[in-house]
Amino acid sequence: MSRKNIRLKEKVERLVILDKTGKANEALDPKLDDELSLYLYKLMVQSRVLDERMINLQRTGKMGTYAPCRGQEATACGATPAMDKDDWIAPAYREVGSFIHRGWPMESLIFFWGGYEEGCVPAKGSNHLPFAVPIATQCLHAMGISWGMKVKGESDAVLCYIGDGGTSEGDFHEALNFAGVYKLPLVMFVVNNHWAISIPREMQTASPTIAQKAVAYGFDGIQVDGNDILGCYAAVNEAANKARSGGGPTLIEAVTYRMMFHTTADDPKKYRSEDEVKKWEKLDPITRYEKYLTTRGTLSRNVQEDVKAEAVKLVAEAVERYELHREVDPVECFDFTYEEMPPELAEQREDFIRVLDEAGVKRGPRGHYLLP
Strands (DSSP E) contained in the chain are 14-15, 88-90, 158-163, 186-192, 195-196, 199-200, 220-225, 250-255
Catalytic residue among 48, 70, 94, 262: 262
Bridge partners, residue 24, by sequence: 18
- CA-nearest of 186, 281, 235, 217 to 79 is 235
Strand partners, 195: 200
Which of the residues 271, 326, 338, 354 is marked catalytic?
271
Catalytic annotation, pick one of 70, 101, 102, 258: 258
Active site residue 7: no
Strands (E), 203-284: 220-225, 250-255
Q: What angle do CA 244, 18, 250 make, to 5 degrees?
A: 25
Short-list 71, 77, 53, 66, CA closest to 258: 71
**In terms of C-beta density within 10 A (0-12 exposed, 13-18 middle, 19 or more buried), how is residue 124 classed?**
exposed
Clarify whether 321 is annotated catalytic.
no
The answer to whether the beta carbons of residues 92 and 137 sit under 8 Å apart is: no
Residue 173 bears catalytic tag: no
- Which residues are catalytic, by number? 258, 262, 271
